[in-house]
Amino acid sequence: MAPMIELLLVGIGTGDPDHLTLQAIKALNSADLVMIPRKGETKADLAELRRAICADVVTNPATQLVDFDLPVRDAGNPDYRAGVDDWHDAIAGVWKDTILAGLGQDGRVALLVWGDPSLYDSTLRIAARVGRDLPLTIRVIPGITSLQALTAAHAIPLNDLGAPFTVTTGRRLRDEGWPPGVDTVAVMLDGDCSFRSLDPVGVTIWWGAYVGMKEEIALSGPLATTAATIVETRAKARADHGWIMDIYVLRRA
């Protein structure tokens, strides 16, 4: 049989071991190698959270953990899409080198992915790049998404009865305004609090950071009176932790 690498992309929800499914735990224990990305000193606790999860659930003594340094995206590139493509190419190259050093061209390697690999996450696109150079099969183990964790934190349904909703990014909300045809919008990847660009009249916001984690912060209310509190709270939380993961839902009357 020809050598083959199986890449397991394991959704880990918010990083709480309680959020791992039994399928995820079995997958991690089946891996020969688990890759742990390092994102710099300010986000060192993200790598430690991944290591803590493995320490909590991985009982297979043959499973090895290996760290790698994650390349940084060139935020100064005026062409956003080209910059992201270059960044993904660089990450794929690091994955490839890490896999070859740890496994050669045969074995099973796992990567722990925040939330779920299918929702606003580039892991699958990067994995496809690796597959151009290595004999690779990909298996996805789904996890709890940040959107699920947010609605659970606020105990709200995501949609109104029989009504659609849109999931978008802060960049698109800021540049294009409220998406047409919907009254409920879920916004991810927003480092600029783009809800401030909207007319707040009649709009309610449910915001959360570190949802599902012990550091969880959840705020909600009319956008007109809650936006400033969210901006201030977000800035303080980011300064305290060195990083932040947040998400919010907007609904207009």
pLDDT of residue 45: 67
Tens of pLDDT along 160-177?
Answer: 999 999 999 999 999 999
Structure-derived torsion over alpha carbons of residues 224, 227, 228, 233, reported in degrees to the nearest 10: 150
The domains of the chain are located at 5-141, 146-252
The sign of the torsion formed by the CA atoms of 168, 24, 210, 212 equals: positive
Pairwise CA distance, residues 215 & 240, whole Å: 11
Most confident of 42-56, 72-86, 214-228: 214-228
pLDDT of residue 40: 65
pLDDT tier, 199 (very low <50, low <70, confident <90, very high otherwise):
very high
Average pLDDT over residues 234-242: 93
**CATH superfamily placement of domain 146-252:** Tetrapyrrole methylase, C-terminal domain (3.30.950.10)
Q: How many CB atoms lie within 10 A of CB 10?
A: 25
Tens of pLDDT along 185-194?
Answer: 999 999 999 9
- Helices (DSSP H) in the chain: which residue ranges? 22-30, 44-57, 80-103, 123-130, 146-154, 170-176, 223-241
Whether the predicted model's global pTM rises above the 0.75 cut: yes
Chain centroid offset of residue 190 CA: 12
pLDDT of residue 21: 92
The DSSP line for 96-115 is HHHHHHHHTTSEEEEEEESB
pLDDT of residue 225: 97
pLDDT of residue 15: 74
Q: Are 174 and 198 in contact (CB under 8 A)?
A: no
Tell me the backbone φ, ψ of residue 57, rounded to 5 degrees. -120, -20
Pairwise CA distance, residues 57 & 59, whole Å: 6
Domain 5-141 has CATH 3.30.70.270: no
Query: Across the chain, what does the average pLDDT equal?
Result: 92
Tens of pLDDT along 86-98?
Answer: 999 999 999 999 9
* Percent above pLDDT 70 for the chain: 97
Tens of pLDDT along 109-166?
Answer: 999 998 899 988 899 999 999 999 999 999 999 999 999 999 999 999 999 999 999 9
Q: Is the pLDDT of residue 46 over 80?
A: no
Q: Are 130 and 99 in contact (CB under 8 A)?
A: yes
CA angle 101, 32, 53 (to 5 degrees): 105
